[in-house]
Each structure stands twice: as C-alpha cells, then as structure tokens.
Structure 1
C-alpha cells in the first residue's frame, strides 16, 4: 500500500512539473523568444515602410515569418512590446524610449539605431539660406525636444549662435547668444509645421511630419545634422536584448543589402554614426 501511494505521489509530481514546463515553454513561444514567427511594430508611414522593404526581407532569408503591426500613436507600440504582443518595434528615438520606459515602469532597450528622416528648413520665399532676409519669420516646433533640434539646425546653418556650454539636447530660445538676422520665431505644434511653409518665411519641419505631408526631404534648404539620440531605433524588451532574434535583426540592419535599400528608396534619411 505504501509503495502504491509513493508511486502515485511521484506520478502526480512529475505531471505537475511537466505542466509547469509546458506553461513556461508556451510563454516563451508566445513572446517570440524561441519562435521563428515574430511580430514587429511600427507607426504607419516611413518606418513601417523601412521594416517592409529593408528589414523583413533579410529576416525572412534567415527563416523568420514576420508580421508588421502598424500603430496610429506613440503609446501603443511600447505597451504592446512590454506585454509581449510584439517582439520589437521601430518608431521612436532613444530619448523618447528612455522617458517612456521610466514613466511607465517598463524595461525596454534600444537595440540599434537606423537611418532617420531629419528635420529640414523649408521655404517658399527663399531659394537658399544665404538669401534669408533680416526679420524673416521662422516657425519652429513648440515642444522642447523638437524645438532644440530646430535651433541646432539654424545654428549649424549660421543663422544664429547658441551660448557656449548650452546642452544641445535642451537648448531653447533663451540660449540664443546672437540672432544675426533678427529672426522672428513662431513656435507652433509640430504637426502644423508643414502647413506653415506657405505662411512663414522659413519653417523647421521634423522629417516624419514632412513625409506625412508628402514633402520631399531633398527640397529643404538645409537638412539637420542629427544627433544620434534623435535617430530612430529598433527597441526590444531588455530581457531579450541578447536573444537570437535581436542578434539577427542587428545583422540584417548592418548588412550591405539594408544600406542599398536605404540609399535607393529612403533618400534624404540621415545615417547614424555606426553607418558612417
């Protein structure tokens, strides 16, 4: 009787352990950790296109079956990544990722930086930067991050100077040391900047909004010399940063095939430092 009871306990224990192992394996598979079926998120537009044209083909050659999941905002892609609904995403720069992860108590990491549409200085009034007249109006983004990018670009083109020691990631109008052309700044919501090209003398338009408005990046009088922290990145859950999928994504993006697609189909996109 005792032997029979001991045998029954052993069988039940073994079954429980097998069930736990099965659940763990199911979770890993659902998260895409050990699966060739993966989902990668992106906002609709150029970065969804970059996935489809420059990244997915390379992953498929490595045996993956990839579904691109498009999002219409900048909140859900990171929530889906954190939940395990997708295994990576491409839509944000490092500064946004770090702030979002901190505010929402998520462990997400940048995997690799990709070519990104730069901010441009556009004008229907002037043909070149050196033709800009004194007192010209300039529309710039009213949010701190993109506003800093606009001022840095105007500085790089010699239209203003910025106080020595100012942090380039946080510069604002108060950091302007010299406004050589007495430019009149008009901060507005970034999504409205493409429309402002018709009314203002100059408009500093972030690349994603320019492309959404069907503007040609190469029509800009000048394009931003972008800090890598403003370039978009592929993000993954921190625990999966060294997974095989992560390694394969990096391998695809670092390939000559990827760069060729960028050169042919994403003209005007600024390349990150590692590509230079």
Structure 2
C-alpha cells in the first residue's frame, strides 16, 4: 500500500535513584545567574540517547546548562517524578499522553516545548496489505490511555473500522467502534511486551519508539502508518515539566537545545527519518484540544 507522509506541520520507564531527600539542583533553587544550572531529565529508549547526545554538546555548555539524563523504564513514574519536582523535565511522551495523565492525576504536568512527531504504524508478519486481512483477524493495540485512542484512530484511517463521530482522541476505547466489517478482534495489550507477541497475532499497532527497539522502521516496515498533518497535532512529542514551571527561562533553554542543527543532524543520521522535527509554540498543541 502506498504510504503517505505529508509534512504539513512546518516540520521542520523506575529510576535508579533520586528521592525528595536528595532532590536535583533545579532551575528554581539555583539563583546564581553566573553558575551552571544542572537540569535533570527523565527519559527512555531512543529519547534518552538523544538527550545524552545533547548533554555533551558545546551549545549546552554555552547555555550555562549541565544535563543529567536519568533512564526510566516506566512512563507513569516519569510523569510522577516531574509532577513531584523530583525531576525537572521528562522527554518521552506525546501531548495526548500528557493530557490523559493529567486527567487521571491531581498533580499536573505541562508542556515545556515541542520536539518531534513520529508516526504510529501497523506491523504484520502475516499480512502484506490492508486488503489482505481476513474476517476474524486479530490486531493488538496499546492498552494505555491516549495510545489506545491513537491506535483506534489509525485503524479507522486505514479503513478497517469506523468510530463514533464524537470519538475522544484521549480517552477513546474499543467500545467506541461502530463498524467492523471484517469482524476484527481488537486486542489491547501491554506495550512493553508488544514486539515479542507480534508473530502471535495477525498485526500489531506500535508507537515508533517501541518499533525501533524491535528493529523496525515505520517508514519501511509498517504496512500502514499515520499521515503527519493537522489531524495528528495531539501526537506531537513534548518536553514536560511540573505545572507552573513551563515559563521558567532556564528550563526553556533546554527546549531550545533540541532544535539546534547538531541535534537535527544526529536524529537524521540515527533514526531513519522516523522523527520529524516540530518546532512550534506549545499553544499550537493546546489549541488542538
């Protein structure tokens, strides 16, 4: 099937430590303007690799910043650590995932800056074309909040199902499927084990980070993937901070670092074109809700 990648955006998980008792030196508690500000960043997978690269850049030193990148293996823990101000920033999630987290938690987080958009794809070892799905096929999708909604929207875009007109792109579930002509079994599963079960189902919907960890490139290996256009604004990845810290000028410097030429080149060379740079104000995302 012809894959469409319309660049209309302009476009260009516990931790091994860190408790409230030994909280990191943050922009808020470092008041000496001439000193180096140490910023802790929680991340995972390819995002952590990018931020470890950024930490070594001369541009980071020139900005008066020292980045301490912490590897997490759990998404919720990353957001909780940021909301509690045990970590300054995290880098892993889409804006839609952040909104879903805020809906489910009292302590809120906020977008500091945009980073990139990477398409979610449908992968299969048994099917080469969308038209080849047989009646009663099984497709596994993420079972967590916004990613479940996102996967269902992808299945609708692929023409496999139809969703109710008022489908919630943050809280939508399989119960919102109104038409399923091929009687496809949509199976929400834990995404941490997703790649390992790919061959046990007819197809699986994966976010690009997990796909890459499984040796897959969405542009080459998916039988269908998201278009990148106005309809996928909510899927733009962000740097997140505790609510109230998004206007901290020191933290904002971190967001600016992601869009330097050196980082763009590193991402281009290491991620096969699957991360499309999005350098937009956060209002671009909040207007999408």
With normalisation by structure 2, the TM-score equals 0.71
SS at match of 1:90: strand
Task: Find out whether 1:219 has 2:221 as its counterpart.
Answer: yes
Q: Are the aligned partners of 1:141 and 1:187 in contact in 2 as well (CA < 8 Å)?
A: yes
Equivalent in the alignment of 2:257: 252
Relative distance call for 1:157 and 1:102 in structure 2 (3 A) is closer
CA distance in 1, matches of 2:216, 2:62: 33
- Alpha-carbon distance in structure 1 between the residues aligned to 2:94 and 2:257: 19
TM-score normalized by the length of structure 1: 0.74
- Asked if the contact 2:82/2:89 (under 8 Å) is kept, the reply is yes
Q: Is the Cα contact below 8 Å between 1:60 and 1:66 reproduced in 2?
A: no
8 A contact 1:55–1:252 mirrored in 2: no
1:180 aligns to what SS in structure 2? coil
Cα shift at 1:56? 5.3
Query: How far has the Cα of 1:108 moved from its partner?
Result: 3.4
Q: How does 1:46-85 map to 2 (within 5 A)?
A: 46-54=46-54, 57=57, 58-82=59-83, 84-85=85-86
2:37 corresponds to 1:31: no
Higher mean C-alpha displacement, 150-159 vs 33-42: 33-42
Listed as ranges, the gaps of 5+ residues in structure 1 are 1-26
Report which stretch shifted further, 117-126 or 243-252.
Answer: 243-252
Give the structure 1 partner of residue 5 of structure 2.
none
Q: Which moved more, 1:80-89 or 1:62-71?
A: 80-89
Show CA shifts across 1:170-189 (max 9, x none).
33333223323332222322
**Distance change (3 Å), C-alpha of 1:271 and 1:78:** same
Residue 174 of structure 1 pairs with residue 175 of structure 2: yes
**CA 207–158 in structure 1, closer or farther in 2 if over 3 Å, else same:** same
Q: Secondary structure at the match of 1:198?
A: helix
Task: Please list every run of 5 or more consecutive structure 2 residues that lacks an aligned counterpart in the other structure.
Answer: 1-24, 282-289
